[in-house]
Structure 1
Amino acid sequence: MPPELPITVLLVDDDALIRAGLGAILASDSRIEIAGEAENGHRAIELASRLQPTVILMDIRMPQLDGLSALEAILGQQPDARTVILTTFGEEQYIDRAIAGGAAGFMLKSSGPEELIGAVVAVAEGAAALSPRIAKRVIEKVRSIDAGSQHAARLAIEALTAREHEVLALVGAGLSNAEIAARLVLIEATVKGHMTSIMLKSGARNRVEAALIAYKAGITCN
């Protein structure tokens, strides 16, 4: 099931030229509509509350209030808000905090137009989105986890049902709710119910954390 159209996007970046460029790229896709623009974190919090956009595309480094602090504030008010964090080369050190803060996606500002549009659509559909470079960084981090982290992840999923294990494995593989529903021959509302249960039982705050738990616990799909 595709996302509700149009996919409204709030652009957050302190550079007006970057906002204009991002807006032009996204608006070239008929499914996407620019709902508003913010030049700092405080303005982003205000507009996110007022406009209720489908996706928030947010820069990390901004004056007054940075993107990660704004992300945490927005999700404190709107737990279901979907945010894609924009980073530049060399800012991978912010990934951990962004994941913990509840970001649904991480893209480099140097990403190509199709990659950026794909990330926004994926997040609107309920999936996670990582640029290839950032995905590699996350995978390398997961591969380097110690036995204690693996054990903690396995404990976190002990209470999951067999079906929830299947759903979590597909989340770890990067599938959206719609794709999981098609794979398991379920309706999307049922998948959403399983995701809610998985997050409650595992302690995952968002889809990216759920995927990392799947990786750490060694849950994979066939």
Structure 2
Amino acid sequence: MTMASPVSILLVDDDALIRAGLRAILTSDQRLSIIAEAENGVRAIELAKRMNPAVILMDIRMPQLDGLSAMEAILQGNPVAKVLILTTFGEEEYIDRAMTGGAAGFMLKSSGPEELLSAVHAVAEGAAVLSPRIARRVIDKVRGINTASLSRAKELVQELTPREQEVLALVGASLTNAEIAVRLLLTEATVKGHMTAVLLKLGARNRVDAALIAYRAGIVNS
């Protein structure tokens, strides 16, 4: 039986000690492979274009070009790139920009090693990932969103079929396509088809966008 190739990772952080710590965590998992490292956003853009990693683990505050600007530039050239934001800063301004900018997930550096490894695998498999603390902030913020926005989210969700709503709710709970397939007793290909329809009907740019709509519509069991 042929083993799957390791998930290729571009590690981006300006702090050499933090990169060393992340490298130690990531290389402890044989299913992951760091193919390149960058110390700033400019270098990250160059390496992402040249090496096309499966997951880009991106810090925010860096010299020359910050991580969010680098992420936006990378996604402009390759909309399907998967950028997992990793930072010590949990301010809402960063969360908002990361989510609306197309990040595949947002993790805090205070997350445990197992949580980080799980997040990298989930993003590689197509899931939307928010660390528990970030998810809590998102949920709390959704509760404070004006009624019109919440109503619009509910209207969008009502346009989905019952099965698509089930898929969306599980996307909001950060499940991968494979996990959703098991939960709903479907093939992974069927789930991917539902996911394509969900994104199209919601007008969502990615799974994180869809997950936020699911939160706003109140269909995620938090």
1:12 aligns with 2:18: no
Match of residue 218 from structure 2? 218
Distance 1:47 1:163, change over 3 A: same
Is the CA contact 1:58–1:83 (under 8 Å) kept in the aligned structure 2?
yes
1:107-146 equivalence runs, <5 A: 107-146=107-146
Residue 84 of structure 2 aligns to a residue whose secondary structure is: strand
Match of residue 172 from structure 2? 172
Q: Deviations over 1:58-78 (max 9, x none)?
A: 001111111111111111111
Is the CA contact 1:11–1:38 (under 8 Å) kept in the aligned structure 2?
yes
Match of residue 52 from structure 1? 52
Match of residue 75 from structure 1? 75
Is the CA contact 1:8–1:32 (under 8 Å) kept in the aligned structure 2?
yes
- Shift of residue 29, structure 1, vs aligned partner: 0.7
TM-score by length of 2: 0.93
Q: Deviations over 1:25-73 (max 9, x none)?
A: 1001111110100111111111111111111000011111111111111
1:156 aligns with 2:149: no
Is the CA contact 2:128–2:172 (under 8 Å) kept in the aligned structure 1?
no
Aligned residues: 219
Q: Deviations over 1:86-142 (max 9, x none)?
A: 121443421011000111111111222111111111111211222222111111111
Distance 1:164 1:23, change over 3 A: same
**Which consecutive residues of structure 1, in runs of 5 or more, have no partner in the other structure?**
none
Is the CA contact 1:92–1:134 (under 8 Å) kept in the aligned structure 2?
no
Identical positions, percent: 71
The letter for the 2-side match of 1:170 is L
Distance 1:90 1:197, change over 3 A: closer
Distance 1:129 1:49, change over 3 A: same
